[in-house]
Structure formats: C-alpha cells, structure tokens
C-alpha cells in the first residue's frame, strides 16, 4: 500500500461532513454511529474504493447482506469507471458454501475487496485457509448487532490475536440499541476491539451546516384530518392497547415495565422487547399474559390497516382476527383474547363495518330484529382522506410544471413514496380510476353514462372501492363454505360459526352468578366476573350474520356495468406477447413513479430519476434526510417535497417518537462517551514463554492427582456446522485451541474417547420426533468410549424441564418455549403433538428416558446457557489427552482406521466398551434369543467369533460363559424345529 499511497482517487463525497468523516476513518480506527438517512453505505463505498485503488490490499467486509453487497458492488464499479484506476478490482462476494476450499484459497491469494459471510470467514481464519496476518483491514457493518457471543466478535478476536497492525473500522446507523444495558457503548467498544467512537447525529454542527445551507429542498407540510369514523376506530384501538399494557404491568410486577407505554407500543419492535423480558420466566408466565403479548402485534396491525389501506381491507382483516380466535362448531375450547371482550372492541368492529356498508332497517323490522342488518344492505365505501389530497397535489404539480417549465438538471418526474408494495398497488389503481365515476340511477342500478375514456373533474375512488367490496363479499362467501365443509357435523344450528362476519351484535354482560355447564371457571379475589354472551351458556364472541338475500341484493347493486365493466384487471402474470402494442419507453417528464421506502436503496431512485416533485404519502424520517443529502449534493437540481400525514393520528405520533428516540439515544451516547474509560487490551504474545508455561501447571495434585503441565493450550475439535452457535466463540475466549473440521460423528471431540453431541431444545424435539437422535447416539457408542448428549438451553430463555401442567390443561412444559407460539397456542409443526404432553408415552420426557434405557453408557448433560457449557467442557478436559483432529474426521467414514493397542483390550472389555469394534447386526440378532440378557450378550460377543459358533456350541461349552440355565435356553432355541409339533 505504501507504493500507491499518494495515488489520486476521485470520490463522490460532496458534503463537508462526509469529507470530515472520511478523513477521520483514513487516519484511525473507530466506531462510526451515523444517523439514519445520512448516507452510510455511500461513505463505506468511497472508503473501500480508496483501498481498492491501491491495488495491493486484502480488505474484508463483514456483516453485509445481499442487497448491501449489490449496492456496494455497483458503487465500486461506478467509481472505477470514473476514476479509471488500473488497480481496482471491485467487490468479490463469498456468501455460499458452493465456493469450495480451493476457490476461496485462490480468491484470498488474489486479494482485493471481499465480502464474506461470518460463518465461512470464521472457519477459514481458524483453519488458516486465510492467514489473518495477510489481511490489510476489516470493515464491520451493523455494529449494533455485535455481541460478546456473536460470530462477528469471534472473527474480530481472531483477527486482532494474530494481526496487530491491520485497520479495523465499524459502522452503524441505529443508535437505539446502544441504550440498553450497563455501559452499552463501552461494552460494544470492547467487543469490537476499538477505542474511539465517532458520533454523527442529525443535530451535529457540521451535518446541520451541510444540509441547511442555501440549497435546501422546498418542503410543503400537509396535515390531513382523519374522518370521524377513523378517529373513533383509532381511539378504540388505543384503548384496547392501553388496557392490554396495564394488564401486562399488573401481571408482571417484578419486571422493568417503565417503557411499557402506549407510545412505545406503536413501534414494531415493542412486542419483541416484551418477549425478550418475559423469556427468562416464560415457563411461569400465565396463558393470559402470553396471549396479550401476542395481541399487541395484532392491534398495531389494525392501526396500520386503518391509516394505510382502504376500509374494505380493514374489515377483511378484522374478519380474519375473529376467525383466528374462534373455536370449531361443537367445541368449547377457544382462545379469545381479552381485548375482544372490551366495549372498545365492539365500537371498533361496528365502526369499521359502517365505513363499508350499512343495513336499511324499517320500523316493522326493528322490534323483532334478529341480526344487525335489515332487509337489505347499502354500500357506504368511505374513502381515505389522503386520496383526495393526493389528487389535489397532482393537479397543483401539473399546473406548476406548465407555468414554470424546467430550467435545471432535474426532470419533471413525480416520485410518490409509500411504506410497502401493497400501498403502491392501491395508489396506482386509485390514480388509474379516480376520474372514472358511475352515475347512480334512481332504482339503485348503475347507468353507464360515463363510458371508458370520459373523465369526471372530481376525483373519486368509487370504482376501486366497489371492486374491492365485490371481492370481499366473494371471499366471505367462499370462506363460509370452507367452514361448512370442514365442520359439516354440527350439534345444533345455534352453535358458533366463525368467519361469516365481524363483531357480535349482542352485548357482552357479566355472568349472572352462574357458569356455563360445559366449563367451570374459578374467580379468585376481587377480580371481575368472566364475560359471556347473553344468548346462553355456549355463547362466545360472535360475528354479524348477514342473510343470503341481503348479500345477493348488495352484490346486485355492485354489479359492474359500463365503464366499470370495461376496466382491465391487474395483470399479475404476463407472457409478454404483443409487446410492441402495449410496451414502450416513456419520457421521464411524463412519469409518476410509486415506490416503497427501501432504506439506502432509495438513493439510487433519487439519483436515477432526478425527480423535481416528491410526494411522501407516509412520513419517514430517514427518507427526509436522504432528500436533504440529495438536494445539498446537487446544486443544479430543484426539489419540492410534499409531506403528508394524518393530524392527531398514531402515524404522526410514531414519526415524532422515532425522531425523539433517536435524539435521546445520541444524547445518551454523547454523555457516556464523555465519561468512558479507555480500553486497554493485553497482548499475551509478548509474555515470557516460561511464565506462560508455569500458568498451565496444575498444582492440585493431592488425593492421587497427576501433575499436568503443558505449554500448548487445550484443543477442541468442532464440527463446522456448530459455528452458528455461540459456544465455539466462548471456548476460544477461554484460551482453547478451536479446530474446525467436517465431523461425521458428534459435534465436539474433547478427548480421543470423549465425544459430545450438542442439541438445542428445538433440535432435540425434532431429533426425538424423527428418530435421528437414536442413530446419532448409536454411532457415537460404536466409536467413542465416553459419548455425551449435551442439551443446551438459550441463555436468554427459561431453563426448566419440570412439567407445570397436566395432560388435560394446555400450558408450559420445559419444551413449551419452543413448541408454543408467543400467544400460547401450539404451533403448526407441533400442534396436537404428544411431544408436549408430559403424561403421553410419546412425550419428550418419556423418549429421553427410553433413550437412556436403550443406551446405558450414554451420559446426558443439561446446560442452561453456552457460558455454562464452556465451563463444563473445561472441566471435562482436565487430565484428559488432547484429541487428534485427523482421527476425529476419519471416524464414521469408510476408511481404514488403526485401532488402539491390544494391551488395553482387557480394560476396555471390563468397562463394556468393546461394542465399538464389533458389528451391530449380530448383536441385535442375539438380543432376540431367549436367555440372552445384556450381561450374557456382553460375554458372548467377547468370547465368541460369530453367531454360527454360538449356534453350534452345546450346554457344556456355554455353561462357563453364561451359566447352565441360560445355556440350556440358548441351545434349545437353536435346536428347535422350524415345523410345528405334529406337522408332516
């Protein structure tokens, strides 16, 4: 690198804060925490290009996903085309196991910029396929995910152990994770082997001056008021959220519930945070608490449907919520969520339905009304308020582009940014049909006065909403038919039928001093009585039931005609025929592009389309900053941004909360940085070799112990598939030599005769279910003297194997954390399985007992976490010889492996280890012979050569080996005739 250190390289960093940050990174190693939207990948790409242009570097990129690799690769190719540097080689990606060892070795020797997955890289570093001393430097992306037990921290530790001069730089654009725990920034710096953090929030002086100069983008903020029914639904959902959170706080007083608020519940990771706090006590958490933790995600999804999608989509989603919580007809077992019994839930369902259609109730029908609808239904089809505002914005843009033509480098393209692809499809359909409107005649039928091509000056989503309502009614009818087919045998017509509607039209009242005869519930203390429906003891939360004639009348009103019938349906699969008639290239000035938010990939959209007008259909703080960076980076491009949001909505609250949380995180980091101590790492390679040797001497030789002293560290042979777990990293952290190999038998080899098969709880259940564990244990018994089965729990989850419930009550057993979903309902893969039933003969507990009975020499070790497993391994390795990696790889393969010396045969036979040198099939056949017990079998396979020899022996020959009684049974069995007595 020294030969080309003065090489001039062209960079694409026009802003001052980008240049300052680049110079810092070139000067020293540091952790960079940048606010979202300020161009983190652009900075990384320019830094990599500077190293790539030198031509003699080997730089590793760790932690990048596939899309980031694609982004960085394209950026390096563009930089190479602009700089025209002859030494640039671009980005090479090693992200699959298809890249074999010879190929990876050749790529490492060639050098350049390499992006390698963590699991492949850690194996290559440990096996010396990649020499750490030959690595010029390493860039770590997503530093917020690096923990002490992560593979990335393992990679950095190996790199710094052998390479003290190479550079190491880490990046993150998520400051919020650095707020959890004690001294999170100092802990992260210790995991990354770095000393200096570099913080760049949006309120940084250099960032503010770069983005708030004369080249600021023109932003028009539009506060769209919600409709009255939308406000009612939002208030009802927030009331359900608040009630659910208060119930969680009361049920778990011992946890840190300070952040369990309605404001925090609006964020996507709130239910993940709650589950993380409940995981250590998940086996003691009640079923109600589990269900509430799952319900918070459902309630947040309802809010998203309310503000983002149309009214029909919200009603359809509420239908699925009711269906998911309902029991099959004739069944009394259901798992209704507590929020469904609130009055707010009743308001939610009724108001959501009233936005789509309502019933026409006459005075004669009112006294005897049995359903919530009258003789006929009338479509309402309330439109989203943002749709009308969007059409007004497009009309304003059209006038502005006509009156003020372009005089700069930007195009007249209009870019509309949404949250997801579904919203993009919805807006595209609205823009295509907003000027097509049907006239309603007096008889309620559609008159096709407006043919396709004639536009109404007032935009409307009537055509789109009518189509969605037709699809909803058809879906509802098909859904009801599916239920009838699945549950055709019903005890009575009054049984609950889910899926035919939404909310219950019958009020929910407390039970009047009586309980349903088919189910008794105990109410302790001063708690409220259980809520049941008023119709009878078998009632539950029910849905509105529309009569078939009502639905038929509504479908008749929605029958397409005229312009609506001529509309072309969405093409999902196109065979690309007649492309010359339907496909052509449009000018950028004529385009309206609708695109979802996509993180750093949005920079490509801005650079390629060069839009003059940007409409943010939903607020996103990071995209606003990307627009600021784009406008400040291009002096000759003008940008006007329309920023839309619902006033007084959770959308606005979530946006402001996101900005506030990010600012609080940076303030916390700045404060910790000011008082953080400097981390000094100890270099063990500089110690005196004699002192290192003396530290390995075991001075506890009392009680017959042996004096063990060796300068070499303890060795553990590990299967390469085990590097997905944290245990190899912890073993390496305890100064053990970790050797990755492709093992056929076992996962860890601690000594020549000590093999360990590690199972997580999820893998253990799967192995017990399909029988794979029995084959693995049998193979270990054949080749190793001391086979061990290690059952390892997650360090952040509960460690218990006691069954807290009986077979008749669904609840948490020691496997319930993995066989039950977060709502407490059995998952699909294990639903109805006997593995989670402690009293079943096929339960996991019973299968483990059978495993130990079938293989008495197998030892089972329970470990609460990988940390405890590392301590157990250290104890098991004491006074044991080191394993041979070559022999560990050969065991289980069809290779000739030299056996142990013959002088140890008697000791091994006495210990019952000789099984591993004999064929297993004759042993299984001998077990079926009368009189052959396990002790007799052990004696026979040691003293005899084959089953043929045993069959030809008489009682006198067998008596010294197995005893006279057993000898008589064996001889009688082999001499017994194959014909029945008295046969011809």
Give 416-459 pLDDT, tens digit per residue.
999 989 999 999 999 988 887 665 544 444 443 444 444 456 78
Q: d(Cα 389, Cα 920) in Å, to the nearest integer?
A: 78
914-931: per-residue pLDDT in tens? 333 456 678 778 888 888
931: domain CATH number?
1.10.150.20
**What are the strands of the beta sheet with 218-224, ordered from one edge?**
218-224, 640-646, 613-616, 414-418, 592-596
Q: Do 290 and 189 belong to one domain?
A: no
- Report DSSP state, residue 199: E
Considering only the C-alpha atoms of the chain, give the largest distance between any 2 of them, rounded to a whole number of Å: 117
Q: Are residues 128 and 247 in the same domain?
A: no
Q: How many CB atoms lie within 10 A of CB 631?
A: 22
Average pLDDT over residues 277-284: 73
Residues 242 and 110 in one domain: no
Pair 357, 259 in one domain = yes
The residue among 317, 350, 379 that closes a domain is 379
The one-character DSSP state at 816 is H
Helix (H, G, I), strand (E, B) or coil at 167: strand
Question: Which of 183, 213, 243 corresponds to the end of one domain?
Answer: 213
Quote the pLDDT of residue 946. Answer: 85
- Any domain includes 511: no
Residue 909: predicted pLDDT: 32
Are 194 and 239 part of one and the same domain?
no
Contacts (Cβ under 8 Å, ≥6 apart) of 984: none
Residues in Cβ contact with 925 at an 8 Å cutoff, skipping those fewer than 6 apart: 947
Residue 665 within any structural domain of the chain: no
| Among 276-285, 518-527, 845-854, the least confident range | 518-527
Residues 283 and 142 in one domain: no
Q: Residue 680: which pLDDT band, with cuts at 50, 70 and 90?
A: low
User: What pLDDT sits at residue 56?
Assistant: 81
**Contact between 955 and 964 (Cβ < 8 Å):** yes
pLDDT given at position 496: 38
Over residues 793-807, mean pLDDT:
56
| Same structural domain, 103 and 196 | yes
Query: Residue 42 is part of a domain; what is its CATH number?
Result: 3.40.50.300
Question: Considering the domain boundaries, does residue 859 fall inside one?
Answer: yes
- The stretch 96-118 carries a mean pLDDT of 86
Does residue 243 or residue 502 have the better pLDDT? 243
Quick check: is 62 in a domain?
Answer: yes
Q: How many domains does the chain have?
A: 4
Tell whether 338 is covered by a domain: yes
pLDDT of residue 30: 92
Q: Does residue 675 register a pLDDT over 50?
A: yes
**Residues with Cβ within 8 Å of residue 414, at least 6 apart in sequence:** 394, 397, 591, 592, 593, 611, 612, 613, 614, 615
Domain with residue 743: its CATH number is: 3.40.50.10130
Residues 207 and 247 both lie in one domain: no
The more confidently predicted of residues 663 and 488 is 663
pLDDT the model gives residue 637? 85
DSSP assigned state of 217:
P
- pTM for the structure as a whole: 0.74
296's enclosing H/E stretch is helix 287-308
Q: State the Cα–Cα distance between residues 501 and 935, nearest whole angstrom.
A: 68
Question: Would residue 546 count as lying in a domain?
Answer: no
For the cut 70, the answer to whether the pLDDT of residue 559 exceeds it is no
Same domain, 206 and 329: no
* Separation between Cα atoms, residue 425 and residue 614, nearest integer Å: 18
**Predicted local confidence at residue 678, as pLDDT:** 66
Whether 609 maps to a domain, the answer reads no
Residue that wins the pLDDT comparison between 302 and 477 = 302
Whether residues 231 and 203 fall in one domain: no
234-272 pLDDT, tens digit each:
999 999 888 888 888 787 766 666 667 776 777 667 767
- In percent, the amount of the chain with pLDDT more than 90 equals 23
Degrees to nearest 5, angle at CA 720 with 716 and 724:
105
Could you tell me the pLDDT band of residue 755, with boundaries at 50, 70 and 90? very high
> Same structural domain for residues 95 and 43?
yes
Under the banding of pLDDT at 50, 70 and 90, the label for residue 826 is very low
Q: Running DSSP on this structure, what letter comes out for residue 455? A: -
CA angle 868–871–873, rounded 5-degree value: 110
Over 50: is that where the pLDDT of 816 sits?
no
pLDDT at position 358: 78
| Mean pLDDT on 899-913 | 34
Instruction: Give the pLDDT band of residue 513 (cuts 50, 70, 90).
Output: very low
Of 25-39, 219-233, 396-410, the poorest mean pLDDT is in 396-410
> Does residue 60 sit in helix, strand or coil?
strand
Are 356 and 320 found together in one domain?
A: yes
499's torsion region: left (phi>0), alpha (psi -120 to 50) or beta? left
Q: Of the residues 158, 186, 213, which one is the last residue of a structural domain?
A: 213
Cα dist. 388→50, 355, 384, 395 in Å? 49, 17, 8, 11
Domain range enclosing 860: 712-807+840-890
Q: Is residue 965 part of a domain?
A: yes
If you average pLDDT over every residue of the chain, what do you get? 76
């Amino acid at each position: 690198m020294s030969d080309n250190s003065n090489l001039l390289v062209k960079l694409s960093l026009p802003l001052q804060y980008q240049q300052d940050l680049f110079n810092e990174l070139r000067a020293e190693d540091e952790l960079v925490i940048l606010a979202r939207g300020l161009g983190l990948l652009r900075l990384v790409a320019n830094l990599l290009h500077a190293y790539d242009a030198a031509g003699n570097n080997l730089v590793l990129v760790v932690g990048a996903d596939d899309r980031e690799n694609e982004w960085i690769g394209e950026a390096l190719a563009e930089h190479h085309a602009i700089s025209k540097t002859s030494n640039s080689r671009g980005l090479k990606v090693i992200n699959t196991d298809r890249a074999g060892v010879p190929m990876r070795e050749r790529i490492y020797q060639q050098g350049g910029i390499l992006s390698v997955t963590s699991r492949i890289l850690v194996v290559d570093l440990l096996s010396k396929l990649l020499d750490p001393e030959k690595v010029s430097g390493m860039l770590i992306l997503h530093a917020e995910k690096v923990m002490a037990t992560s593979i990335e921290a393992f990679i950095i530790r190996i790199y710094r152990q052998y390479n003290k001069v190479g550079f190491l730089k880490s990046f993150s654009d998520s400051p919020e994770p650095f707020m959890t725990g004690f001294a999170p920034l100092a802990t992260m710096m210790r995991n990354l082997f770095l000393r200096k953090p570099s913080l760049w929030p949006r309120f940084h002086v250099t960032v503010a001056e770069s983005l708030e100069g004369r080249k600021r983008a023109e932003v028009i903020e539009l506060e769209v008021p919600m409709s009255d029914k939308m406000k009612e639904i939002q208030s009802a959902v927030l009331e359900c959220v608040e009630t659910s959170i208060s119930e969680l706080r009361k049920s778990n007083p011992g946890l840190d519930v300070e952040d369990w608020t309605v404001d925090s519940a609006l964020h996507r990771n709130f239910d993940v945070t709650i589950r993380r706090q409940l995981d250590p006590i998940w086996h003691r958490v009640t079923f109600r608490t589990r269900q509430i933790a799952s319900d918070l995600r459902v309630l947040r999804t309802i809010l998203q449907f309310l503000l983002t999608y149309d009214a029909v989509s919200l009603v359809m989603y509420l239908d699925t919520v009711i269906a998911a919580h309902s029991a099959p007809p004739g069944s009394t077992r259901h798992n209704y969520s507590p929020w469904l019994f609130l009055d707010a839930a009743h308001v939610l369902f009724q108001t959501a339905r009233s936005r789509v259609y309502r019933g026409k109730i006459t005075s004669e029908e009112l006294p005897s009304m049995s359903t919530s609808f009258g003789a006929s239904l009338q479509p309402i089809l309330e439109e989203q308020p943002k749709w009308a505002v969007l059409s007004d914005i497009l009309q304003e843009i059209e006038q502005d582009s006509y009156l003020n033509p372009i005089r700069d480098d930007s195009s007249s393209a209009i870019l509309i940014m949404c949250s997801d692809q579904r919203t993009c499809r919805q807006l595209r359909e609205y823009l295509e049909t907003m000027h097509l409107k049907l006239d309603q005649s007096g008889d309620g039928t559609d008159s096709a006065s407006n043919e396709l091509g004639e536009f109404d000056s007032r935009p409307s989503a009537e055509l789109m909403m009518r189509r969605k309502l037709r699809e909803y009614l058809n879906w509802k009818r098909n859904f009801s038919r599916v239920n009838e087919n699945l549950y055709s045998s019903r005890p009575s017509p009054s049984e609950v039928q889910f899926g035919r509607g939404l909310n219950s039209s019958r009020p929910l009242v407390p039970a009047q001093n009586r309980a349903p005869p088919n189910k008794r519930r105990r109410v302790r203390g001063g708690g409220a009585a259980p809520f049941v429906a008023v119709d009878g003891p078998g009632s539950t939360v029910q849905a509105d039931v529309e009569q078939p004639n009502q639905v038929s009348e509504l479908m008749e009103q929605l029958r397409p005609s005229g312009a609506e019938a001529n509309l072309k349906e969405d093409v999902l699969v196109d065979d690309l025929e007649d492309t010359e008639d339907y496909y052509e290239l449009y000018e950028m000035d004529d385009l309206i592009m609708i695109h979802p938010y996509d993180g750093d990939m949005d920079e490509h959209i801005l650079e390629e389309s060069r839009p003059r007008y940007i409409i943010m259909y939903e607020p996103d703080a990071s995209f606003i900053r990307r627009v600021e960076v784009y406008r400040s980076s291009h002096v000759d491009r003008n940008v006007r941004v329309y920023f839309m949001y619902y006033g007084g909505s959770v959308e606005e609250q979530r946006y402001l909360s996101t900005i506030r949380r990010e600012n609080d995180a940076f303030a916390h980091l700045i404060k910790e940085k000011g008082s953080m101590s400097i981390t000094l790492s100890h270099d063990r390679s500089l110690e005196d070799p004699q002192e290192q040797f003396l530290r390995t001497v075991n001075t506890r030789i009392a009680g017959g112990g042996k004096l063990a002293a060796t300068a070499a560290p303890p060795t553990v042979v590990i299967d390469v598939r085990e590097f997905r777990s944290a245990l190899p990293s912890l073993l390496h952290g305890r100064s053990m030599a970790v050797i990755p190999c492709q093992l056929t038998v076992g996962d860890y080899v601690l000594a020549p005769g000590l093999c360990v098969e590690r199972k997580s709880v999820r893998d253990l259940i799967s192995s017990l279910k399909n029988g794979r564990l029995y084959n693995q244990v049998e193979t270990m018994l054949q080749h190793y003297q001391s086979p061990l089965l290690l059952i390892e729990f997650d360090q952040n989850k509960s460690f218990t194997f006691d069954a807290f419930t009986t077979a008749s009550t669904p609840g948490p057993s020691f496997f319930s954390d993995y066989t039950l979903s977060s709502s407490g309902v059995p998952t699909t893969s294990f639903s109805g399985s006997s593995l989670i039933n402690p009293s079943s003969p096929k339960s996991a507990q019973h299968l483990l007992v059978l495993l130990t009975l079938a293989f008495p020499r197998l030892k089972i070790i329970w470990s609460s976490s990988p940390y405890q497993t590392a301590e157990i391994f250290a104890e098991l390795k004491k006074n044991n010889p080191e394993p041979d990696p070559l022999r560990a790889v050969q065991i289980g393969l069809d290779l000739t492996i030299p056996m142990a010396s013959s002088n140890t045969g008697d000791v091994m036979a006495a210990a019952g280890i000789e099984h591993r040198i004999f064929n297993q099939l004759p042993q299984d056949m001998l077990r079926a012979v009368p009189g052959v017990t396990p002790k007799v079998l052990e004696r026979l396979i040691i003293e005899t050569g084959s089953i043929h020899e045993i069959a030809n022996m008489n009682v006198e020959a067998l008596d010294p080996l197995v005893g006279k009684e057993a000898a008589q049974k064996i001889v009688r069995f082999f001499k017994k005739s194959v014909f029945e007595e008295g046969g011809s």
